[in-house]
Amino acid sequence: MKDLVNFLQSDEIEKSDIYVHLKCGVSEALMLQFLAQRYMQGQDDVLVLELLQELYNTQEYEYLEHLSELKNLLELGWIHQQSFTPMKISEVTPLELLNTAVGLTPSFLRLLQEGTLDSDLPDIKPYADHLEYLQDQFFRIELYQKMSVIRQNVHEHSLGIDRLQSKLKLLEKRIEERVEQTSENLVLDKFFKQKKMSNLEQVIFIALLREEYSATDASLREMNALIDLISLDDYERIKNRSLLEDGSNLISNEIIDYEEMLNPFGGISRSFYIVDEVLQSIIHPQKTKKVTRLKLNALIEEQDIFELVESDTSLDDVVLNEKTRETLNNLMQQVDKEVVARLVKWGVKEKKSGIDARIIFYGAAGTGKTMTAYSLAKSLKRQVLAFDCSKILSMYVGESEKNVRKIFDTFYDLSEKSKTEPILLLNEADQFLGARSSGTITGADQMHNQMQNIFLEQIENFRGMLIATTNLLENIDKAFSRRFNYKIEFQKPNEAQRRELWKKMLPAEAPYEDGFDSAKLAKYSLTGGQINLIVKNTAYKVAVQSEPLFTIQDFIDEINREKDANFDSEKSMGFLA
């Protein structure tokens, strides 16, 4: 503590032993001395105005000239701002600091205590094992994180950054030298060399690995956080994005992968993670048996219940009623990882559980319920296991109780084996969801009621995301209705939406008559499914002509034919934007 006492009592601050480490002028050093004296009296922070008026002449506001010196101390990292609205120091004008409070940083307090900020690293010696090597690598990430925090709050060339960069270089050199002396097989180092990973790619990988070990709130998994970790300035941020884009070494070689989620502000965020097989080989290097994640498309061939669907369209591609889109966007926000983390913190949701949502899409046939379910899965980066509920009675007569349970048991089994979270889609779920029979009932009614009771039980306890589609919400049994988190209506498109649908669905390369205007077709009240089918039927009709040409009348004839044929009874189809 000799250096501390010397600094506190010194009348000539520039002669104190600590002064040489400060890299600042005498005036700034006197401010630090004043703050240190107050700190020793039990005062953690001091108003800037009070500090300047104590040290400098208050006449003619002379003390204001020293505000820039105080800002320099903030940039050097010796003091920090005690403010309810912290600002990036490099963007703050000196005058903005006048009525704020400042205090000494942990770095300066350590300098006072130890007389130096240089910490001796341990002697160079071989690594005893893989975990000791990981410990150094995680410390390396900690230094990167500290530099990232400083860059976001103070000037990039501050003493704090320089000091940490120097410490990081020493650590990385020490890791390299210890690896050379180590005869023990270091799995992570061997992996880096096999995959020919650059230094920045290694930092990204170690940061994600550290998240796995520490089981934190995934603060370093987000794309921008990882880019900030390895970038010194805006130019490097732009340049380093390529390390996390599709086609990069880390992603194309299946070293890491990501999930895309709609964040609460309407944008898409990427959350990265280490691919399971790679992670297991690093965390459990002694295990020779590989942890395999079976693909759903391979597993699906072993059963006859579900159809596996991977959509090519996202929600951005679907034409929807504005209210329906608003509800879906709200749903997307509520399944965002940050929102889920809040629910876990509040005790509303279990920490280990995934996303739980039970949703009903209801509306007339052809309004896009099924297509939207597929597109929602694409936006959530999920696959879909689809079951056609219209087949349930023909498939399971006499064994309803056993086989309705089998639907859900098979879904959970496929999810577990593939280590994924697919969406369960129950198409045309009216058979399950309709009101149960009461009063005098037949044997068939009893079987149907029993099947529905089991289905009700499965819905109540469902784990994951389930979407059921139905044409008429009013026919749904109230017991079922209460168990769905979301009931989302699909309305028939208005004229503006129909105009958009016609433009999208009409063949782009086809020949059209002069003056062809699809807006005329949009005046007919049709669903997206109807427009889709009319376009196809008209195309078949025109294609057989010796000189094919699409006319407005061709489409009108097909529209009238389908309307006369009670087209509304046709099976629901999705439609694209």
Q: What DSSP line would sit under 264-290, residue for residue?
A: TTS-EEEEEEE-HHHHHHHH-TT--S-
Tokens matching residue 221 = 């998994």
Q: Is the pLDDT of residue 242 over 70?
A: yes
Question: Half-sphere exposure of 513 toward its Cβ, with a 13 Å CA cutoff?
Answer: 11
pLDDT at 421: 83
Q: How far apart are CA 486 and CA 489, in angstroms?
A: 10
The pair phi, psi for residue 103, each rounded to 5°, is -145, 170
Q: How far apart are CA 503 and CA 8, in angstroms?
A: 78
* Higher pLDDT pick, 511 / 71: 511
Q: Is the pLDDT of residue 517 over 50?
A: yes
Chain centroid offset of residue 408 CA: 28
User: Average pLDDT of 506-528?
Assistant: 92
Q: What is residue 96's DSSP assignment?
A: G
Q: Report which residue type is found at 247.
A: G
Q: Is the pLDDT of residue 470 over 90?
A: no
pLDDT at 535: 94
Q: Is the pLDDT of residue 219 over 70?
A: no
Q: How confident is the model at residue 123 (pLDDT cuts 50, 70, 90)?
A: low
- Whether the pTM exceeds 0.75: the reply is no
* Sequence-ordered alpha helix ranges (H) in 64-158: 67-76, 106-114, 130-153
Q: How far apart are CA 259 and CA 223, in angstroms?
A: 10
What's the fold here for domain 495-569?
A: Helicase, Ruva Protein; domain 3 (1.10.8)
- The C-alpha angle 544, 546, 550, rounded to 5 degrees, equals 70
Q: Residue for token digits 């879906």?
A: 328
Q: Are 3 and 112 contacting, i.e. CB atoms less than 8 angstroms apart?
A: yes
The pair phi, psi for residue 466, each rounded to 5°, is -125, 135
Chain centroid offset of residue 404 CA: 34
pLDDT at 198: 92
User: Average pLDDT of 352-372?
Assistant: 81
Q: pLDDT for 247-274, tens place per residue?
A: 899 998 889 988 776 555 556 678 888 9
Q: Are 29 and 13 contacting, i.e. CB atoms less than 8 angstroms apart?
A: yes
Q: How far apart are CA 63 and CA 49, in angstroms?
A: 9
Count other C-beta atoms under 10 Å from residue 176's C-beta.
Answer: 10
Judged by DSSP in three states, 326 sits in helix
CA dihedral angle for residue 541, residue 544, residue 550, residue 551, rounded to 10 degrees: -60
Q: How far apart are CA 443 and CA 55, in angstroms?
A: 96
Q: Residue for token digits 């004229």?
A: 495
Q: How far apart are CA 511 and CA 331, in angstroms?
A: 42
Tokens matching residue 478 = 């109230």
pLDDT at 217: 47
Tokens matching residue 294 = 């079976």
Q: Is the pLDDT of residue 457 over 60?
A: yes
Rg of the chain (C-alpha set): 33
pLDDT at 288: 44
The pair phi, psi for residue 512, each rounded to 5°, is -120, 150
Q: Which of 79-93, 196-210, 554-568 has the lowest mean pLDDT?
A: 79-93
> Which residues have CB under 8 Å from 460's CB, separation 6+?
483
Q: Are 87 and 97 contacting, i.e. CB atoms less than 8 angstroms apart?
A: no
Q: State the burial class of residue 397 (Cβ atoms within 10 Å of its Cβ: 0-12, 13-18, 19+).
A: exposed
495-569 and 296-490 share a CATH fold: no
User: Average pLDDT of 229-257?
Assistant: 89
pLDDT at 83: 59
Q: Is the pLDDT of residue 58 over 90?
A: no
Q: What is the CATH number of domain 296-490?
A: 3.40.50.300
The beta-carbon contacts of 403-411 under 8 Å, at least 24 apart in sequence, are 404/451, 404/454, 404/455, 404/458, 405/454, 405/458, 406/305, 407/305, 407/458, 408/458, 408/462, 410/303, 410/305, 410/306, 411/306, 411/385, 411/464
User: Average pLDDT of 116-139?
Assistant: 76
> Which residues have CB under 8 Å from 11's CB, separation 6+?
none
The strand pairing partners of 257, in sequence order, are 273
Domain definitions of the chain by residue range: 2-114, 130-283, 296-490, 495-569
Q: How far apart are CA 240 and CA 353, in angstroms?
A: 33
Q: Is the pLDDT of residue 375 over 60?
A: yes
Q: How far apart are CA 576 and CA 372, in angstroms?
A: 9
